[in-house]
Structure 1
């Protein structure tokens, strides 16, 4: 990995969205998380990887999916490596037990998470949302995820993604 300016996350909570900072303060693994300030224009995964010399396989995207069953909305955040895609129409649909699911509307995802679009992260999500994790994301030595804002990224051992409150590691989540 290139020489990046990584700082212990608890030393720079100002670089995070409020719910992310609050969740990290309470998370026993926060000492293993580092943060890097980036240009917000470079926050999208492919652009960030090229600009900062990180591998796409290191980046773990948080994709918010929703669907309804009997008028009840069901929401899940799917964590998949950036070089894969969540199997929304088969695996996620079955796990949510809905007839049809799709990407959660961007404006609602931003409002409901209190995070910026392009920075939504599994840390600090609403407690009622499921967190579905592809095993390949857990296997990443140093995973790069959002921080809740576009001006920084979090770096943590991929194995810790399985330690997030409510995380479910799902075989076949991504293809």
Structure 2
């Protein structure tokens, strides 16, 4: 396992060795990934899972954090879902690029209870690894280009350390230019 320059004060372990620090769908999906051994996990205080608090508490750069949001939209009476992954220093272009990619009239963040139920993950810890089959995973090109990232683990009590290239290789992943706008 590589050493992570973005880890700050975190103690990073191989994610495959610590399924107790992962939501069940994340652990299952990780086990099926060819590069799973390259993914790190670190336990954190669940009260500090929100990005800004996490970065401040663990001395991890905000620029190395990526946030995963669940987006919902309707087309012909059918609700469609997608996940969007953007750097924490940016905002997802939900009603522009994402809406067009989903081919829906209007897109919005999925309600918290719905996102939690559909993903099997905790709100504030939703991650692109282990999302429901068939969901597009839209990655901002800046995310895919990052050599080291911190993302959710499916629970609020830990974070995953991954590469942008691993995320871009996930089933259903699409790298999209200008998916996010600067904050």
Partner of 1:152: 158
Offset of residue 166 of structure 1: 1.0
Give the equivalent residue in structure 2 for 1:142: 148
Match of residue 63 from structure 1: 69
1:36 aligned partner: 42
Equivalent of 1:95, from 94, 98, 101?
101
Indicate the SS of the match to 2:79.
strand
CA distance in 2, matches of 1:19, 1:90: 30
Q: Residue 43 and residue 3 in structure 1: after superposition, are their counterparts in 2 closer, same or farther (change >3 A)?
A: closer
Indicate if the aligned counterparts of 1:57 and 1:140 stay in contact, CA closer than 8 A.
Answer: no
Deviations 1:9-60 (A, max 9, x none): 1110111000000000111110110000000000000100000011111001
Tell me which of 110, 117, 121 is aligned to 1:111: 117
- Deviation, 1:4, is 2.5
Q: How many residues align?
A: 175
Q: Distance in 2 between matches of 1:156 and 1:67?
A: 29
Question: What's the secondary structure of 1:85's corresponding residue?
Answer: strand
In the TM superposition, residue 75 of structure 1 has moved relative to its aligned partner by 0.8
Q: Matched residues in 1 for 2:146 and 2:64: separation?
A: 6
Q: Which runs of 4+ in 1 moved over 3 A?
A: none
Distance 2:160 2:33 in 1: 14
Residue 174 of structure 1 pairs with residue 180 of structure 2: yes
Q: Take 2:72 and 2:108, find their aligned partners in 1: how far apart are those partners?
A: 6
State the 1:129 CA deviation. Answer: 1.1
Q: Name the CA distance, whole Å, in 1 between partners of 2:40 and 2:61.
A: 17
TM-score, length-scaled by structure 2: 0.93
Residues 1:124 and 2:130 are matched in the alignment: yes
The reply to whether residue 72 of structure 1 matches residue 74 of structure 2 is: no
Q: Report the Cα offset of residue 160 of structure 1.
A: 1.1
1:6 corresponds to which residue? 12
